[in-house]
Amino acid sequence: MGSERAVAVFGAYGHTGRFVVAELRARGFRPVLVGRDPDKLKALAYGTEAHGTGVSGIHGVEGRAAGAYGTAPDIRAASADDPASVDRALTGAAAVINCAGPFATTAAPVIEAALRAGIPYLDVAAEIEANLDTFAHYAERAHEAQALIVPAMAFFGGFGDLLATAAMGDWATADEVHIAYGLSSWHPTAGTRTAGAVSRERRGAGRRIRYTAGRLEHRDDAPPTLEWPFPEPLGPRTVIGEFTMADVVTVPSHLTVPEVRTYMAAEAARDLSSPDTPAPAAVDERGRSDQTFLVDVVVRSGGAERRAVARGQDIYAVTAPLVVEATERVLTGRTRAVGVASAGRMFDAPDFLRALSPHISVALFT
């Protein structure tokens, strides 16, 4: 198999990284397993370590996938604070997917290495501040180099951006974008908790963010609680308003919308905030948890309203087809921008969402 199908996965043995590696293999790519700990990389590659879910290897498919290739797994130890090791890890790769949080620490070093290697960079960052950094620090350099950098290519950030972009349709501008997350539960990974702590430290204890009047605004008050009219079968649910996610970075990065608000089901928000909530547990052969989600996106312009509704299972697992589909499109030239661009700017949003149909059901009301 040629190097054009070799994709480095930085943070391969993390919870989301394992899903990404499995999805790459399923789609005929050759994952290059990259991470700080060589023992964990070997355990992942040869299926000798449980995933914390009762499923060994890469969600139980590593052995079959490796057998299909007939080659030994490609394992490369690297650390974000050692540029030479990251350069070695990316040697021969056609692209790199960064799954290693906190992205405030890893994004810049891996982007720098990708620029040196002349390969596309994608990540699954949900950290608002880390994504802001990527746009601010690399937009000009990446554009001048004709490089492709796609941050937040995940459930939070990329997916909401694709849905909002598809819902906009032929509208050049809109007044408001509302993205409501109806998660049945949220059992956060250790990486999610660490990334959240880093973001809270950066913005200051007790401060939160919202996007209003065309800019990000820091606030010290508590977010509002309200009811969101989710479509059936979920129906109306109590949500935390202004539960701000990475969508406030991705959506306004290319859509002219002065108000972008995100909402989270109150039950899921409580799960996330509780230190006693356990990590996700696998319930099927793919390693997915029993969490379900409904994402309801409403775009308003004047008196008109357009909507996109998506349903699926496990926000961590579904990040894998999102970022791997993006990688496939980047490597086959199905892109609409150069430089740093979010999913909705980089790709044909309706077509991209249709390609996710084996994993997510999407309905557009435009």
DSSP conformation class of 255: S
Got the DSSP string for 80-140? TT-HHHHHHHHTT-SEEEE--S-HHHHHHHHHHHHHHHT--EEE----HHHHHHHHHHHHH
**CA–CA gap between residue 305 and residue 300 (Å, rounded):** 4
Beta strand spans in 126-235 (E): 148-150, 176-183, 208-212, 215-219, 225-229
301 shares a domain with 163: yes
Which domain does 60 fall in, by range? Answer: 3-154+320-346
The answer to whether the beta carbons of residues 194 and 102 sit under 8 Å apart is yes
342 shares a domain with 304: no
**CA–CA gap between residue 16 and residue 5 (Å, rounded):** 20
Query: Reduced to 3 states, what is the DSSP secondary structure of residue 352?
Result: helix
Indicate the burial class of 78 (C-beta count within 10 angstroms; 0-12, 13-18, 19 or more): buried
300 shares a domain with 173: yes
**CA–CA gap between residue 313 and residue 261 (Å, rounded):** 23
Please name which of 268, 331, 282 lies closest in space to residue 19, comparing C-alpha atoms. 282
Q: Which CATH number do you get for residue 175?
A: 3.30.360
- Model pLDDT, residue 73: 85
131 shares a domain with 237: no
**CA–CA gap between residue 180 and residue 226 (Å, rounded):** 11
**Half-sphere exposure at residue 302, Cβ-oriented, CA atoms within 13 angstroms:** 4
- Model pLDDT, residue 48: 60
**CA–CA gap between residue 179 and residue 263 (Å, rounded):** 6
Would you say the C-alpha torsion 161, 165, 168, 171 has a positive or negative sign?
positive
308 shares a domain with 227: yes
136 shares a domain with 192: no
Q: Which CATH number do you get for residue 43?
A: 3.40.50.720
**CA–CA gap between residue 260 and residue 280 (Å, rounded):** 29
Provide φ and ψ at 206, rounded to 5°: 80, -5
Please name which of 345, 358, 356, 288 lies closest in space to residue 142, comparing C-alpha atoms. 345
Indicate the burial class of 282 (C-beta count within 10 angstroms; 0-12, 13-18, 19 or more): buried
Name the domain count of the chain.
2
83 shares a domain with 177: no
59 shares a domain with 13: yes
206 shares a domain with 72: no
In angstroms, the Cα distances linking 210 to 86, 93, 149, 200, 259 are 35, 38, 25, 14, 9
Longest CA–CA separation in the chain, Å: 59
Helix axes 103-117, 190-203, angle to 10 degrees: 100
- Model pLDDT, residue 44: 94
pLDDT of the chain, 366 residues: tens digit per residue = 446 699 999 999 999 999 999 999 999 999 999 999 999 999 999 886 544 433 344 444 333 334 333 467 899 999 999 999 999 999 999 999 999 999 999 999 999 999 999 999 999 999 999 999 999 999 999 999 999 999 999 999 999 999 999 999 999 999 999 999 999 999 999 999 999 999 989 988 779 999 999 999 999 999 999 999 999 989 999 999 999 999 999 999 999 999 999 999 999 999 999 999 999 999 999 999 999 999 999 999 999 999 999 999 999 999 999 999 999 999 999 999 999 999 999 999 999 999 999 999 999 998
246 shares a domain with 120: no
Q: How many CB atoms sit inside 10 A of residue 130's CB?
A: 26
253 shares a domain with 168: yes
Amino acid at the residue 297: V
94 shares a domain with 129: yes
Amino acid at the residue 80: A
